[in-house]
Structure formats: C-alpha cells, structure tokens
Structure 1
Amino acid sequence: MPSNGIEPIHGTTRASRVRESRSASSTPTATLSRRTIAIISLVTCFAEMSSETPIDPIRFEVIRNALVEATEEMASALRRSAYSTNIKTRHDFSCAIFDRKMRIVAQSFSQPNHLGSLMETIPRALEAYGLENLSEGDGILVNLPYTGGVHLNDITLISPVYLDSTPVGFVASLAHHVDVGGGAPASIGAFREVYQEGIIIPPVKFVSGGDFNRDVFDLVLAQVRAKRETAGDFRAQIAANNTGIRRFKALIG
C-alpha cells in the first residue's frame, strides 16, 4: 500500500478515478439524447411507409431538426415565462409536437421521463374529449394519472394546430405545478388514495378561441395553495403552445 494510504485499484487511485468520472460527466450528452429521441419519433411517424418507399436523407434531417428546434423554442418560452422554480430552475417540464394521428414526432430535451407519459396522455385525452369538439385556438387541460400521467402535479395543456381550417397536428406542454391542493403542501405526501393528492382534472377545455376559460381557471386556482405561481405557470404553458403552433404552421405552410 502506498504511503499516502490510498489503495490503487487496476493501476489507478480512487482520487484519479473521481477526476476521470467528473471529466466524463462534463461531456455534453444533451445533443445526442435529443437527436436519439427525435430520430425514434420520426421513425414512428414514417411507420406506415413500406420498405420500398424512398426517403430523402437531406429532407429527413431538415424536417427532423426543424421539429426538434420548434419544441426547444416552446421549452424556452415556457421556462422564461414561468413563475415557479419547478419550471424556471428545475426544468421539470416537457414540450412536444404530434402529427394529426396523435403520434409524437418531436420532444424537447427537458425531462426525458415525460416521453412515455406524453405519448400516452395526448391520444387518450383527445379521444376522450372528442376531436369534433375542438377548433382553432382551443386548448385541453388534463392531469389524469390513469391515462399516462405521472402524478397530479404534472398538468398537460394540449392545443390543436390548424392550417386553412384543416387540423394538421397538435402541440403539448407538460409542467410540474408547485401545488395542486390535497393533504400536504406541494401535494406530495404519504397518501393512501389519489383523492388525497389534489385536484384531478379530466380533459377539459381550458383555452377557447385563444382565451383561457375563466370558469375552469378560477375553479383550479381555488383548490391550490400557490395561486400566483400556478396562474403564472398556466399562462406560460399557453405561451409555449402558441409558440409551437406558430413554428409548426411555418414549417408546413
């Protein structure tokens, strides 16, 4: 054993392994992860194409990057407009774009565990509410834990995208709200049933014709402790979805 008391393992000291670990962890991986998520999503989007269908790789990359960057711009709008530290500092949110068949085609690199949640929540919420009940400028709010939600604090806003009065897709933002009522501050505690966790929101029209539904807005705020943060975060989600709608329409228009 060396005189400094640090036992070498496989020719390196524990201190050197710590330095190597820190060096490795500082290597940027966000771009790789984001690219992987986007590629998998677009492959799903092209699932109905036959193996004989030619795909221009240059066009594929242009569209892929445009969709991913649109979700990143949504994420930036949400993060910069939000009131709570959950969103502004912890980045506990995600933004995504869906095609008209409700399949996810791009997602921001914010909270990767939301990937599985969004791809289940959006189709089920839209089918439950009814696509025929939506029009341009509308938005659906939902946090049902039984249809893909992680917990009640994760509230999703879904907005349809129309081009020349034709639905062409959807954008969605999911954000962890600081409080949704229930038996403990922040709505997180040792609860025995979901009803103790806070307000449960089935798919409801939260935005109508570009303006939020004041009745639903006031009903939700009446159940929560952090009213200022919650109100600000809801407005930030609306801003994020509006950003996504503009970018989506600019891409396909």
Structure 2
Amino acid sequence: MVRKGVTESFTLDIIQNSLITAAEEIFAVFGRTSKSPVIYEVLDYACGLTDNQGRMIAQANGVPGFLGTLDMAVVQAIKKFGLNGFHSGDIIVTNIPYTDGTHLNDVTLIMPIYYRDEIVAFSANKGHWSEVGGMHFGSWTSDSTEIYQEGLQFPTIKLFSKAKPVQEVIDIIRANVRTPTMTLGDMEAQAASVRVGGRRVQELYDKYGGRVVENAMERLIEQGEQLMLKRLRELPHGTFMAEDWVDD
C-alpha cells in the first residue's frame, strides 16, 4: 500500500508540472497566433501564472526582464480593482513603466482565473507591441523629452469586460497606432493566450480540488525562495562592481 503522504507528494509534483506546462502553453499560443515578427520570430515576450495575491507560481521561458515584472503588473491590478472589482472574462491591459518596469511598447495583459466564483489565480502575458503611437514609427525614440511623446499609456484598465471587448479602448488604440492590423492582431493573440492559461488552471481545480492545487502553488513559491537563498549563500564574500556605457 502506498502511504498517503507519498501519494500526495506525487500529486503535488504533477500539479506543479501542469502549472508550468500551462505557462508554456500561454507562450506557445501567443507565438503561433501573433501577427508581428517581433513576437513570432524574436520572441520578445514572457508569460506566467500567479496566485490570487500576485505571487509568481509558474512561468515559461521568455525575456527575463519581463518575467521579473509580470507579478508587479498583477499586484498593481489587484491594488487598483481589488479582488471584488474583477469579473469572469475580464482582461486588464497595462504598460505603465512605473508599475510594469519597461517601456510603453511592452504591454501586459492580465486575466483573473475563477473557480467556484472566486479568483484563485491570474494569467499574464507581457509582449512587445510593434506600434503604440508616439512621435516616431515603431514608438522607439532616443530624442523624446517626456513620456507623452513615446506613445499610448494604458493605466491598468479593462480591455475586456465580462469577456466582451471594451470597444472604446480598442477604437482609441486603432486611431493612434500606425499599424492597426498588426497591433490589434497581436492584442487578440495575447488575449487568446491568457484565456488558455485560465482554462488550464480551472481544469486542475476541477480535477484535484482547491486545497490540493493551492498546496502545490505554495510549495512552488517556497521552493523558489529556497533555491534563491541557496544561490545567495554560494556567492563568495566581497565587494563587486560593474561598469557600462550608453551612447548619449
């Protein structure tokens, strides 16, 4: 007879790997359905899942700088709306550097994931949109003097409300970008990808129940913390310096 504790350990391992696979599926869906080569060729994006507090629990291979800011964007969305301010089918859009960590082209989509009418997790995807308006084509500029010259800002707002697109927001995007077909195509691909992540998490809850899945999430977070502490302990003692240059 297999002991209960051992069985639960196997189950937790399966759920952990399933969460990571779900994040990788978000990544694959966006890459295969986007319209911009900066996504499907350059892979300038990152995807992941957080718990309902915004703590990262699973991620796919992607731009490391994006992975380090996904949770920040989710936490900001929770602060703004509160868990009671979301509805099933909502998708939030944000690209504010002060909360998301990078420039305006890097747009994050966030979707709350529900199980039995409660938010249990968030699906998130941060990708480089080829155009968000601004003073130069491609929204890249080295001669801007203020952020307003760089393009549209999405201050953590709803792009989809109860699964329906917020048409006014989409109309504003279409009117302000030079490549609306490409930009809105990437937006739709990004939205489709976070929905896939949401479905996969809901399937895990349906199969294993909330307590078991949440135990697996907690273990993932604890393992990440312990791994980081281990790496820090392995660093040699001393003072370290680095120097770099950027063209003026």
Q: Which has the higher helix share?
A: 2
**How far does residue 223 in structure 1 lie from its aligned partner after superposition?**
1.1
Cα distance in 2 for residues equivalent to 1:141 and 1:188: 20
Cα distance in 1 for residues equivalent to 2:168 and 2:138: 23
Cα distance 1:178–1:62, how it changes in 2: closer, same or farther (>3 A)?
A: same
Q: Are 1:175 and 2:151 matched, yes or no?
A: no
Cα distance in 2 for residues equivalent to 1:179 and 1:149: 18
Cα distance in 2 for residues equivalent to 1:153 and 1:192: 17
Determine which of 2, 10, 18 is the counterpart of 1:66: 18
Q: Are 1:123 and 2:75 matched, yes or no?
A: yes
Question: What secondary structure, in the 3-state scheme, does the structure 2 residue paired with 1:202 have?
Answer: coil
Which residue of structure 1 lines up, in the alignment, with residue 138 of structure 2?
186
Kindly indicate whether the alpha-carbon contact (under 8 Å) linking 2:83 and 2:119 is maintained by their aligned counterparts in 1: no
Which residue of structure 1 lines up, in the alignment, with residue 116 of structure 2?
164
Give deviations 1:106-125, integer Å, cap 9, x for gaps.
11112222121112121012
Determine which of 152, 166, 169 is the counterpart of 1:216: 169
Cα distance in 2 for residues equivalent to 1:126 and 1:143: 15
Which residue of structure 2 lines up, in the alignment, with residue 97 of structure 1?
49
Kindly indicate whether the alpha-carbon contact (under 8 Å) linking 1:72 and 1:108 is maintained by their aligned counterparts in 2: yes
Which residue of structure 2 lines up, in the alignment, with residue 242 of structure 1?
195
Cα distance in 1 for residues equivalent to 2:77 and 2:115: 22
Which residue of structure 2 lines up, in the alignment, with residue 112 of structure 1?
64
Cα distance in 2 for residues equivalent to 1:194 and 1:132: 32
**Bigger CA radius of gyration:** 1
Cα distance in 2 for residues equivalent to 1:147 and 1:55: 41
Cα distance in 2 for residues equivalent to 1:159 and 1:110: 19
TM-score (norm 1): 0.75
Q: Are 1:155 and 2:107 matched, yes or no?
A: yes
Which residue of structure 1 lines up, in the alignment, with residue 151 of structure 2?
198
Question: What secondary structure, in the 3-state scheme, does the structure 2 residue paired with 1:206 have?
Answer: strand
For residues 30-45 of structure 1, the aligned pairs below 5 Å read: none
Which residue of structure 2 lines up, in the alignment, with residue 137 of structure 1?
89
The unaligned stretches of length 5 or more in structure 2 are: 1-5, 207-248
- Alignment coverage as a number of residue pairs: 201
TM-score (norm 2): 0.77
Question: What secondary structure, in the 3-state scheme, does the structure 1 residue paired with 2:64 have?
Answer: coil
CA-based RMSD of the aligned residues comes to: 1.8
**How far does residue 149 in structure 1 lie from its aligned partner after superposition?**
2.9
Cα distance 1:166–1:129, how it changes in 2: closer, same or farther (>3 A)?
A: closer
